[in-house]
Structure 1
Amino acid sequence: MIEQTNKKRIIALLIAVVIIVGALVTVKLGFNEDKKEENVVALVGGERITKDELYDFLVKANGQGALDSLIVNKIILLESKKQNIQISEDEIKEQIDKMVETIGGQEAYESALQYYGFSEDELRKDIEINLYLTKLLEPEIPITDEEMKDYFKENKDSFNQMEEVKASHILVETEETALEVKEKLSKGESFEELAKEYSTDTSNSQQGGDLGFFGRGRMVTEFEETAFSLGIGEVSDPVKTDFGYHIIKVEDKKEAKEANYEESKDKIKEILFQEKFQGAYDTWIQNKLEEYEIQTFL
C-alpha cells in the first residue's frame, strides 16, 4: 500500500498527468475511434463533453494544488542540478524493493498501483523526486552522536531483535488437497512450484508462498505455533486455521537478541532524520519559493 502521507501528493500529480494527457480518458472509456470528434472526450446521449470542459473542470477541482506540486518538483530538480546531485537506478530499485516487501509482495504492490491509477514509471519518478529532496535536505538536518545516544537510551527496548522466522506456505481449502500436496513434497517436488499451482493465497502464491520474516503475534495462533516449532528446512503436516489448510516450510530463523548502540545507529539516524524532516522541508521550500521567480497562468 502506498503510504497515506503520500496520498494527497500522488492524487495531485495524477490530476496533473490527466490534464496534460487529456484524451486518455476516452481510451479508458473505450470509445469507438470513428465516433470521436476533435476536442470531444465523451458523448452522453449524443451530447458532447469537450477537452476544454474537462480541462476547466479539473483545474477548478484541484488545478492549483496539482500546479503547486509540479512547481515544487521543478524547484527540487533545479536545486539538485545546481548541486550536481545524482540518483542512481540502484537507489530507486532499493526503494521499490522496500515498498514491495512492506506491502506484502509483488502482487499486493501491483494491486496498490492499480488502485491509485499509478504506473510504475510514474511511481519511479515520484521516488526519484523524494530521493533528490532527501539529499538536498541532509545538510539542513544535522544529527549529533549525543542525540542518537539519548534516543537509544530512551527507546532501547524498541531496537531489541525479537525472535522471528522466515517461512513459506501453501494454503488450500480442504484437508484432502493439503494431504495431496504433502505427498508430492515427500516425493521431492518443489515447494515453490507447488505453491504456484495449489495455493489460494494470491498475495504470495506466485512468489512460492514466501511470507518473509515475521515475529510472534503476527499470524493466527495455530499457524504461529507450528512455524516457530519447526527447524530450518522443515515442512509441516497440514495445519488447520480459519483460512483453510496450510503446509508450512521454515526457510530461516532469527534468534532474540538484545540491541546495542553500534548496531542500531543507522536506524536511529533514520528515525531522527524523519522526525526533523517536515520542519526542515517547510523552511527550505518557503525560502526557495521566495528565491525563484514564479509565474502561473491558470
Structure 2
Amino acid sequence: MIKKITRGRIHQSILLILLLGLMLVISACSNSEIVAKVNGEAITKDELYEILVKQNGKQALDVLITEKIIELEVVKANIEVSEKDIEDRMQDLINNYGDEEGFKQTLESYGYTIEDVRKDIETNIKIEKLLEPKITISEEEMKSFFEENKQMFATEEQVKARHILVDSEEKAIEIREKLLADGNFADLAKEYSIDTFTKEQGGELGFFKRGQMVPAFEEVAFSLKAGEISQPVKTQFGYHIIKVEERKEAKKANYEESKDQIEEMLFKEKMSSVYDKWIQEKFNEYEIERLLK
C-alpha cells in the first residue's frame, strides 16, 4: 500500500454498553441453560452471568446510570439532535479512517456496528449541548492558541489522484494508450490494477501531501496538472499510471479563516474537565439506587 492512513479510536463506552447488553440477555435466559461442557461437566449461563457481573458489572452499570442522567438532563433542557448533526459527525469519523469500507472493516473487527457508533455520536452531541453554556472561550485564548500552533492551520500543497498499478512496463503502456483513447480510468483500474487497496474504488487515492507516497510516485504526481495522465512510473510495487484530478496549492496559516476550527478545538479541550465536574455533581444531585448483587 503506497499511502498511509491514520486510524482513529472508537469510544470506549460502546464496549461497556455492548458488554452490559450481553449480561442482560444472559440474565433473561434460563439460569440452567448450558453454554459449555468440560469432560461432560456443564457450565451454565447463570455461572457466566455471575462472572461478567463480578468483573464488569459496576463499571457497566455506572455507564448506564450516566446515560440515564444525560437523558433526563437533555429532556429538562429541551435539547434535540438532528439527523444532519449525526450524519456530519459520522462522515468526519469515516474520513479519519480513509474511507467507508475501511471504517466498516475496523468496526467489524471489534464487533461494533454502525448503529452503535451513531448512538455514541448522538450521546456526545447531547453532552456538548448540555455543557456549552458552561464553557467560555475568549478571543485572547484563540489568538494565543493560533500563534502557538500556526503550523497546524497552514495548508500544504496537495493533489487528488487515481492510479493503476501493474506488474510490467508493457502492460502500463498498453493501459495508458487505452486511457488516451478516451478509456475510463476508474473502469480500467478495476479491471487491471493489482493494488487491492484501491482497485475497487477505481484507483482512488484521495488528497495527499508530500511525504505520504513513495518518492518516485510523489515526484511525478506533484508535477502533473489537473487532468493529466502520467507516463509509466516505476516503484518497488510495480508500474503506475497516475491521473491527477485536482490540486490544492500551499497556503499560509490565517487566523480569521481558522477561527471556527480553533474555537472547536478549544471547546473540546475544555469540555473534558468541565464534563468530569458536571457529571459528578449530577451523581450527587440525583437519587441513585444500585441494586446489582
CA contact (8 A) 2:156 2:209 kept: yes
Are residues 1:291 and 2:289 paired? no
The aligned amino acid for 2:120 is D
Query: What runs of 5+ residues in structure 2 fail to find an aligned partner?
Result: 1-5
TM-score by length of 2: 0.88
Distance in 1 (CA, whole Å) between partners of 2:175 and 2:25 is 50
Give the C-alpha shift of residue 7 in structure 1.
5.0
CA contact (8 A) 2:8 2:96 kept: no
1:219-258 → structure 2 map (5 Å cutoff): 219-258=213-252
Aligned to 2:19: 15
Secondary structure (helix, strand or coil) at the match of 2:155 reads coil
CA contact (8 A) 1:105 1:204 kept: no
Aligned to 2:272: 278
The aligned amino acid for 1:17 is G
Work out which of the residue numbers 80, 85, 88 in structure 2 matches 1:86: 80
**Residue 124 to residue 202, structure 1, CA distance change in 2 (3 Å):** farther
Give the C-alpha shift of residue 135 in structure 1.
1.4
Work out which of the residue numbers 133, 136, 141 in structure 2 matches 1:142: 136
Query: What runs of 5+ residues in structure 1 fail to find an aligned partner?
Result: 24-35
Distance in 1 (CA, whole Å) between partners of 2:38 and 2:170 is 54
**Residue 241 to residue 78, structure 1, CA distance change in 2 (3 Å):** farther
Distance in 2 (CA, whole Å) between partners of 1:83 and 1:67 is 24
The aligned amino acid for 1:225 is E
Give the C-alpha shift of residue 139 in structure 1.
1.4
Distance in 2 (CA, whole Å) between partners of 1:163 and 1:96 is 27
The aligned amino acid for 1:246 is H
Give the C-alpha shift of residue 173 in structure 1.
3.9
Distance in 2 (CA, whole Å) between partners of 1:95 and 1:235 is 35
Cα deviation 1:9-33 (Å, max 9, x = unaligned): 232222122223339xxxxxxxxxx
Secondary structure (helix, strand or coil) at the match of 1:118 reads coil
Are residues 1:265 and 2:259 paired? yes
Distance in 1 (CA, whole Å) between partners of 2:7 and 2:49 is 27
Aligned to 1:166: 160
Aligned to 2:201: 207
CA contact (8 A) 1:107 1:202 kept: no
Aligned to 1:27: none
Secondary structure (helix, strand or coil) at the match of 1:219 reads coil
Work out which of the residue numbers 179, 183, 197 in structure 1 matches 2:191: 197
Cα deviation 1:161-196 (Å, max 9, x = unaligned): 111111122233444443443233233222122233
Give the C-alpha shift of residue 154 in structure 1.
2.7
1:32-47 → structure 2 map (5 Å cutoff): 39-47=33-41
Aligned to 1:185: 179
Root mean square deviation, CA, Å: 2.4
Aligned to 2:8: 3
1:98-109 → structure 2 map (5 Å cutoff): 98-109=92-103
Secondary structure (helix, strand or coil) at the match of 1:229 reads coil
**Residue 153 to residue 19, structure 1, CA distance change in 2 (3 Å):** same
CA contact (8 A) 1:167 1:248 kept: yes
Aligned to 1:29: none
CA contact (8 A) 2:8 2:97 kept: no
**Residue 239 to residue 133, structure 1, CA distance change in 2 (3 Å):** same
Give the C-alpha shift of residue 213 in structure 1.
1.4
Query: Which moves more between the two structures, 57-66 or 259-268?
Result: 57-66
Distance in 2 (CA, whole Å) between partners of 1:213 and 1:139 is 37
Cα deviation 1:22-48 (Å, max 9, x = unaligned): 39xxxxxxxxxxxx9972333455443
TM-score by length of 1: 0.87
Distance in 1 (CA, whole Å) between partners of 2:240 and 2:41 is 56
The aligned amino acid for 2:183 is E
**Residue 50 to residue 252, structure 1, CA distance change in 2 (3 Å):** same
Query: Which moves more between the two structures, 125-134 or 70-79?
Result: 70-79
Query: Which moves more between the two structures, 7-16 or 67-76?
Result: 7-16
Cα deviation 1:191-229 (Å, max 9, x = unaligned): 122233333434333322222211111111111111111
